[in-house]
Amino acid sequence: MTRTDSFIVKSLHGRLDRVFIGGEWVKPQGQARSTVIDPSTEQPLTDMVLGDARDVADAVAAARRAFPTWSDRPVHERASLLDRIHSLILERAETFAQAISLEMGAAIAFARSTQVPVAAEHIRVARDNATIYPFLSQRGDLAIQREAIGVCGLITPWNWPLYQITAKVGPALAAGCTVVLKPSELSPLSALLFAELMHDAGVPPGVFNLVSGTGPEVGAALSAHPDVDMISITGSTRAGVLVAQAAAPTVKRVAQELGGKSPNVFLPDADLARAVPLGVAAGMRNVGQSCSAPTRMIVPRERLREVERLAAETAASFVVGDPSSAQTTHGPVANRAQFNRVQEMIATGIAEGARLVCGGPGRPDDLRCGFYCRPTVFSSVDAGMQIAQEEIFGPVLVVLPYDSIDEAVEIANCTVYGLGAHVQGKDIVAARAVAQRIRSGQVHINHPAWSPHAPFGGYKRSGNGREYGIEGLEEYLETKAILGFH
């Protein structure tokens, strides 16, 4: 069976030309079509019909009708529904993993071990937080009520297609909001499967709606719609700016999780044998297509050669190839535009005079087609170089040497981004001190386990607002003060 003949595509027959509005699969009013490309072969997988502004209006109207009843539902009932959603994701984990591997090239082992399980965690945490959150609290005769903000437009990217959906849908529904989801048209299969799951879980009509489409059409219409109370977008900084501009005339809340160029600071006492392989793996996880990937490794100058050797050995251990193979660690990047971007930035790094430690332009030697990139490490990189400043979104790591801790912190903070960061060091007091000086929304010390409770979001041009955990729930709540509440 070829990937084009995948059971995923066959199972979605009858859904690829529909949008999900008011609890039903309906034909969109939009007539534009989009081709879903298999990034491992560059061949078409299937076509789908895209919605337009008229479909957005229908979906928003359905969400608006559903909002009063849903927001009044007791918290335990909303939590019970989230529990059913969580259970169905786990039951259908293999189907979701296959879809993600197919639509954006994730290695099937990575899709199974990471893409799907962490997506399920967002639903579980939203359920748990809803049951303990103080939606009504008192300060003497003053009551503080936190209530659902209303209808929310959710715009999600292609790189973590299910994970980013659940990170938004889970807390939005837990808060009592109704939603209209616009997934990326480049990786739509897992989103359609999720809409099927929501129907099967018994989500009331209009509480969850999905309109596939492009950013300039569906994303812009959703952002500008006067009956949408909030927009949450995960995407590029450019896309975030456009959404904020479209949303501004209606003064709606806009939460943005945007680009990043995350630093990984190695203190002089860092355990290189452990930290360098973990750092390279983190920077190239999901083939480097993660906004928080620590793609800038900032190291003591006197340890530069040792870092280079360990980084090259780690990159050489990766198995780049067919994402459907269980032995593959890194599949292709997700689409042609991203492949071209990675190739351009590798050429830029060479032109800027950075030292190419491993990798380089083109595909790996044994791969003739597909959007495969060589895991690439540059060293002796200056902080002002383009490859040290711009988000590449591929398996490209830059190593920057420093001569003092103050210089290391300065390098860490010298981009327009501030999403994630890492610090490595045996002296935990020193590591904490550096972590507190880095201007980013999240800092990891010595590669701790990922936590779905840790708020995630950016400083500077990495966005505003937070996702995950309690803070992620609060993004979807308004604050009402009630005086004289005895």
Q: Which residues are catalytic?
A: 257, 291
Q: How far is CA 6 from the centre of its chain?
A: 25
- Residue 1 makes CB contacts below 8 A (sequence gap 6+) with 7
- At 239, is the secondary structure helix, strand, or coil? helix
Q: 23: which 2 tokens?
A: 């609890």
Sign of CA dihedral 404, 408, 413, 419: negative
Q: Which residues contact 365 (CB under 8 A, 6 or more apart)?
A: none
Distance CA 280, CA 389 (A): 18
As a whole number of angstroms, the distance between CA 272 and CA 308 comes to 11
Pairing of strands 178-182, 151-155: parallel
Query: Side by side, which strands form the sheet with 142-148?
Result: 136-139, 142-148, 477-483
From residue 57, how far is each of 29, 35, 54, 61, 104 by CA, in Å?
A: 11, 24, 5, 6, 29
Residues in the chain: 486
| Continuous H helices in 356-404 | 386-389
Beta strands at 151-155 and 142-148: parallel, antiparallel or unpaired: unpaired
Q: What is the DSSP string of 415-456?
A: SSEESEEEEE-S-HHHHHHHHHHS-SSEEEESSPPP-TTS-B
CB 280 within 8 A of CB 397: yes
Encoding tokens for residue 329?
A: 């660690």
Q: How far apart are CA 446 and CA 256, in angstroms?
A: 27
DSSP letters of 95-152? HHHHHHHHHH---HHHIIIIIHHHHHHHHHHHHHHHHH--SEEEETTEEEEEEE--EE
How many degrees, rounded to 5, is the angle at CA 475 between CA 473 and CA 480? 100
- The secondary structure of residue 184, as a DSSP letter, is -
- The Cβ of residue 142 has, within 10 Å, a number of other Cβ atoms equal to 12
Bridge partners for 256 per DSSP: 233, 464
